[in-house]
Structure 1
Amino acid sequence: MIKILHVAAIAGLIGSAVWAYSIKYETIRQTEELARLERAIEREREMIAVLRAEWAFLNRPDRVETLADAHLPEVVPFSVEHLARFEDLPDRPPDADEIGAKLQALGLGAPTATPGTTGSVPRATATTPTTRTPAR
């Protein structure tokens, strides 16, 4: 009986040692992955800083003014004469039903009788299942 307990204790000791080493190496791998990601984030931040500096350089007012003068000679500066009053705007045209107007022009605008209706209940509603509201 004691030999079985010794074997079980040794097996437990070996199992816990294997588990501890696997946790250790997994932690080392995770730490290396974290360091790699932090380096990648820092590189991206540096690239963003460079792009912001380039954007600021390209958007200098003197450069934009030179480009606007060269490529947009017909653009005039904004003045008060460009503003319009609300009363000067034209009225909105009425909403038109183009399809309805075409049907009226063809003489098809009048209401039609549904074929196959004999009696008080039309055929289409007789085959439609009814829905019931649940009782409370």
Structure 2
Amino acid sequence: MVRLLNVLAVFALIGSAIYAYSIKYETIFHAERIVKLKHEIKKEQDQIAMLKAEWSHLTRPERVQALADKFLDLQPLGLRQIVSADALPARGAKGDAIGDKLEALGLSEPTNTPGGGAGAPVTPVR
């Protein structure tokens, strides 16, 4: 009986050692993975910083102005182009071109609401 207990104790000791080593190696694996992910995060942050620096370099006002002068053929601002607010046309003077076309086609009458069925209330078109 004592011998059986000794054998069981040895197997329990070996099992607990295997379990402890498996936990140790899993911990080492996860720690290495964390370090690798931290390096990848740092690399991506450096890449973002470099892209921001390139963007600020590309959007410098003097560079954009030189490109606009070279490719856009813009006319310089003349004094006659600047007018007072009274000289501007009124907003409502032009009217609603789309609404006028719909009225000319006879589509300004009220219609049934889509998906409302036969007894749905009539919705006016504005």
After alignment, is 88-97 or 65-74 more displaced?
88-97
Alpha-carbon RMSD: 2.6
Provide the residue aligned with 2:90 in structure 1: 85
State the TM-score, normalizing by the size of structure 1.
0.60
Offset of 1:74 from its aligned partner?
A: 4.1
Q: Secondary structure at the match of 2:40?
A: helix
Residue aligning to 2:53: 53
Kindly, what percent of the aligned residue pairs are identical? Answer: 41
- Per-residue CA distance 1:58-82 (angstroms, 9 max, x = gap): 110011011111111147769668x
In 2: Cα distance, 1:12 partner to 1:64 partner: 76
Alpha-carbon spacing, 1:3–1:67, altered in 2? closer, same or farther (3 Å):
same
Aligned equivalents of 1:84 and 1:5: distance in 2?
104
Larger Rg computed on CA atoms: 1
Answer yes or no: is 1:17 the counterpart of 2:9. Answer: no
Query: 1:72 and 1:79, CA in 2 relative to 1: closer, same or farther beyond 3 A?
Result: farther
Structure 1 segments of 4+ aligned residues over 3 angstroms from their partners: 74-81, 95-98
Paired residues, what number? 97
Choose between structure 1 and 2: higher helix proportion.
Answer: 2
Aligned to 2:34: 34
- TM norm structure 2: 0.65
CA distance in 2, matches of 1:4, 1:28: 36
Distance 2:27 2:89 in 1: 70
Structure 1 unaligned residues grouped into runs of 5+? 99-136
What is the DSSP-based 3-state SS (H/G/I as helix, E as strand, rest coil) of the residue aligned with 1:16? Answer: helix
Query: Which residue pairs with 1:70 in the alignment?
Result: 70
